[in-house]
C-alpha cells in the first residue's frame, strides 16, 4: 500500500501493476461519467433511464472524491517531507491537482447551490479535464506550447496584423457598395476572420471587382498564415518526442555497468546510437548461425545463452551478440529471454564507431569475447 501511494503521488504507473490498473479505472470512470452527462442532455429519456444516468453521475462523483482524498493523503504521507498544512498547499498549487479539484468541486457546489441545466452540464463535463493527468499527449502539447510560445506569439501577431490591414482595406473598398456589411472596420473584421481562417461562410462577400481581387489575395495569405502555427506545433511535437526518447535511452545507458566509467558526453553520444528494445519471456533474440547486424546490452531481465550442451545465464548489466561483430562470423549461440527483458540494441555501424573511439572499451569487450570463446572450445572438447 505504501509503495502504491508513493507511485500514485509520483505518477509512476508503469512501476506497479496495481497503480496502472487503478489509473485505468479512474480513466474509465471519467469517460463513463462524461458520456453519461452528454446522454442526459438528449431529450426523450424515460424515468428508469434518467435514474440510471443520475446513478452513474453520483457514482462517478463518489469515485473521483475518493481519488482526490487519496491523492491528498498520499501527497502528505509520501510526497515532499514538509508539515501537512504546507504539503496540502503544495498539492493544491500543482497544475494537475487543480484538474483533480475541478473534476469534483462542481458536483458539490451544484449540490448545495442548485443552478440551471447549463451550469450542471458544464460542471459535470469539467470532469473531463482530469484526463490531463492520464494523457501524455496533452502534457506534451502543454510543454510544446510553452516552449514554442515566442514563435507562436509571432505567428499570432502576424495574423492579427493581416486581419487589421485586410479588414481596413476592405472597409475602404466596400463601405459605399455595402454599408450594411462593411460600414465599419469591426464589421469588416467579421469578413476578415471568416476569410483568413478559410472558413468562408459566404454571408459577407465583396461586391466590387477590386474587393473580389483583395478577397482572393487575403484568402491565399490566410492559408499561408494558418499553416505557420500548425508547422510550429508539429515540429515542436517532433522535437519533444525525440528529446523524451533520448532521455529514456540515456537513463537506460547509465544503468549498464559496462558504460559506468564513461563521462556524460560519451553517454550522450551512446544514447543517440542505442535503441531500446523489449523482449518477451521465451523470445529468441539471437539464433545460432544467423548473420549478425547488432549486439545487445541487458538493462533489466535475464537471458539464456545456449551452445552445444551448455547453457549460460546472463543478467542485467551483461551484454551479448558481440562475438559475431568482433570477428565478422555467424552467431555462435542462441540467446533466449528467460524473463521479460529491456535491452539496448547497438547496430554494427554503432559498434564500430564505439570501439574505434574507445580502445579501452574495445579491449574489455574483446577480453570477454575471448573468455566466451574458450568456454566454447572447452564445451566442444567435453562433447
Ligand atoms: P554472438 O556469437 O554474436 O551471438 C551469440 C552470443 O551469445 C555471443 O555473441 C555472445 O555474446 C554470447 N555468448 C556466447 N558464448 C557465451 C558464453 N560462454 N557465455 C556468455 N555468453 C556467451
| Residues 263-283 pLDDT 10s | 788 788 888 888 889 999 999
Burial class (CB in 10 A: 0-12, 13-18, 19+), 264: exposed
CA 333 to ligand 1: nearest atom: 5
CA 325 to ligand 1: nearest atom: 3
Greatest mean pLDDT range, 128-132, 213-217, 250-254:
213-217
Ligand 1 pocket residues where CB is under 6 Å: 286, 292, 305, 307, 312, 314, 320-324, 331-333, 335, 372, 375
CA atoms within 13 A on the CB side of 314: 24
CA 292 to ligand 1: nearest atom: 3
What distance in angstroms lies between residue 307's CA and the mean position of ligand 1's atoms? 8
What distance in angstroms lies between residue 372's CA and the mean position of ligand 1's atoms? 6
Give the C-alpha distances (Å, rounded to integers) separating 220 from 163, 225, 300: 13, 9, 55
pLDDT band at residue 11 using 50, 70 and 90 as cut-offs: low
pLDDT band at residue 158 using 50, 70 and 90 as cut-offs: very high
Distance CA 346, CA 270 (A): 9
Strand partners of residue 310: 307
Q: What is the mean pLDDT of residues 331-346?
A: 93
* Residue whose CB lies within 8 A of the most ligand 1 atoms, among 317, 333, 374, for a mutation test: 333
Place of cell 463518489: 62
Can you give the pLDDT at residue 9?
59
Helix (H, G, I), strand (E, B) or coil at 83: coil
Strand partners of residue 306: 311, 334
Q: Closest residue (by CA) to atom 1 of ligand 1?
A: 321
pTM: 0.61
Amino acid at each position: 500500500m505504501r509503495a502504491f501511494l508513493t507511485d500514485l503521488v509520483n505518477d509512476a504507473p508503469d512501476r506497479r501493476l496495481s497503480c496502472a490498473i487503478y489509473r485505468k479505472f479512474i480513466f474509465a470512470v471519467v469517460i463513463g461519467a462524461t458520456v453519461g452527462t452528454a446522454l442526459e442532455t438528449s431529450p426523450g429519456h424515460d424515468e428508469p433511464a434518467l435514474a440510471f444516468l443520475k446513478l452513474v453521475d453520483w457514482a462517478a462523483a463518489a469515485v473521483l472524491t475518493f481519488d482526490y482524498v487519496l491523492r491528498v493523503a498520499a501527497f502528505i504521507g509520501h510526497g515532499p517531507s514538509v508539515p501537512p498544512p504546507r504539503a496540502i498547499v503544495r498539492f493544491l498549487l500543482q497544475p494537475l491537482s487543480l484538474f483533480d479539484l475541478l473534476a469534483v468541486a462542481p458536483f458539490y457546489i451544484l449540490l448545495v447551490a442548485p443552478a440551471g441545466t447549463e451550469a450542471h452540464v458544464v460542471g459535470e463535463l469539467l470532469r473531463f479535464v482530469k484526463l490531463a493527468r492520464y494523457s501524455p499527449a496533452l502534457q506534451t502539447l502543454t510543454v510544446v506550447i510553452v516552449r514554442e510560445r515566442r514563435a507562436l506569439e509571432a505567428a499570432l501577431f502576424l495574423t492579427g496584423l493581416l486581419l487589421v490591414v485586410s479588414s481596413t482595406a476592405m472597409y475602404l473598398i466596400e463601405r459605399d457598395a455595402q454599408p450594411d456589411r462593411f460600414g465599419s472596420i469591426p464589421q469588416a473584421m467579421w469578413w476578415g476572420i471568416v476569410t483568413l481562417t478559410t472558413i468562408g461562410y459566404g454571408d459577407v462577400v465583396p461586391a466590387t471587382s477590386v474587393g473580389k481581387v483583395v478577397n482572393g489575395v487575403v484568402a491565399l495569405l490566410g492559408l499561408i498564415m494558418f499553416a505557420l502555427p500548425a508547422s510550429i506545433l508539429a515540429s515542436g511535437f517532433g522535437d519533444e518526442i525525440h528529446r523524451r526518447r533520448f532521455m529514456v535511452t540515456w537513463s537506460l545507458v547509465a544503468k549498464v555497468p559496462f558504460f559506468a566509467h564513461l563521462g556524460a558526453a560519451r553517454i550522450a553520444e551512446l544514447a543517440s546510437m542505442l535503441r531500446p528494445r523489449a523482449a518477451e519471456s521465451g523470445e529468441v533474440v539471437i539464433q545460432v548461425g544467423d548473420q549478425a547486424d547488432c549486439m545487445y546490452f541487458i538493462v533489466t531481465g535475464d537471458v539464456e545463452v545456449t551452445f552445444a550442451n551448455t547453457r549460460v545465464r546472463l543478467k542485467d548489466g551483461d551484454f551479448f551478440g558481440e562475438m559475431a561483430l568482433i570477428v565478422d562470423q555467424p552467431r555462435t549461440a542462441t540467446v533466449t529471454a528467460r524473463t521479460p527483458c529491456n535491452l539496448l540494441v547497438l547496430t554494427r555501424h554503432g559498434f564500430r564507431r564505439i570501439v574505434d573511439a574507445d580502445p579501452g572499451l574495445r579491449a574489455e569487450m574483446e577480453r570477454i569475447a575471448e573468455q566466451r570463446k574458450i568456454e566454447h572450445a572447452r564445451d566442444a572438447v567435453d562433447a
